[in-house]
A = this chain, B = another copy of it.
Amino acid sequence: MVGTHRNLRELLEPVRIREIGDAALRVVSRKGLERTTMQEIADEAGLAKGTLYLYFDSRDELVLHVAESAFEELQVAVAEALARDVAFPERLAAAVLTHVEFFERRRDFFRLFLSVAHPGPGVERSARHSRSCNPLYRAYLDRLASFFAQGQAREEIRPFPPDRLALFVSEGIAGLILRRLGETDPPPVEEDVRLVVDTLTGGINARRNP
């Protein structure tokens, strides 16, 4: 019967895609994006290399798919924190906390996040690795920038270029997270979050009147 075949394929394909994607994420988190090979993803997924090409046209397409999924997850989490209708410093704190906690939960995604955020070469494109996922990081930064712009419109924060500010903050946080992931026993999340939030809200100068 033909219907059975259709059902099997339609049921199997999403499962395989998810299996392969999850395996890819695990391998990337261990080895970094550049050193992740199709063979290793296949081994991790318990499949043969050729099978990967039944569900993805190329390595780049696979990476792009995984990156898109993970970025969307991050977007949703941070957007939720930014959307709460509370005072500005609280929203900022919530966003930073969400950000750090997200990568604490999804350690496997952070390496991919970094690889996507920092485009490999400068001018010369045409890599064998996906360059096309940059827009994902751009979109992520834009959301943060518009948050700052919104605060500036309400005259709650100083008129720095919002995109520059977003970049500075985002990269600073990413640096802390990267360090955390390398530490066997990182300090509590709240400590790093407080550093960022306090610095941003009040600077690093000692309080004259505590």
- A positions within 8 Å CB-CB of B: 29-32, 34-35, 88-89, 111, 114, 118-124, 127, 148, 155-158, 160-161, 164-165, 167-176, 178-179, 181-182, 187, 191-192, 195-196, 198-207
Determine which of B29, B124, B176 lies in contact with A164 in the assembled complex, contact meaning CB atoms within 8 Å. Answer: B176
List the number of copies, as a whole number.
Answer: 2
Residue of B nearest to A169 (CB): B172
Q: Which of A89, A114, A170, A179 has the most CB of B within 10 A?
A: A179
Q: Which residues of B contact A202 (CB under 8 A)?
A: 202-203, 205
Report the 9 A-B pairs with minimum CB-CB distance, sorted nearest first.
A171-B175, A172-B172, A168-B172, A203-B203, A32-B121, A202-B203, A157-B204, A32-B120, A201-B203
Alpha-carbon distance A74/B156, docked complex (angstroms):
37
- Could you tell me the distance in whole angstroms from the C-beta of A48 to the nearest C-beta in chain B? 23
Contact (Cβ within 8 A) B167 A176: yes
**Whole-angstrom CA separation of A34 from B128 in the bound complex:** 11
The chain B residue with its CB closest to the CB of A89 is: B205
Residues in B neighbouring A203, C-beta threshold 8 A: 199-203
Q: A111-B122, A179-B167 are in contact. Are A156 and B199 (CB under 8 A)?
A: no
Q: Given A119-B182, A122-B182, 12 more contacts at CB 8 Å?
A: A30-B122, A34-B34, A118-B118, A157-B205, A158-B198, A158-B207, A168-B175, A169-B172, A171-B174, A200-B204, A201-B204, A203-B203
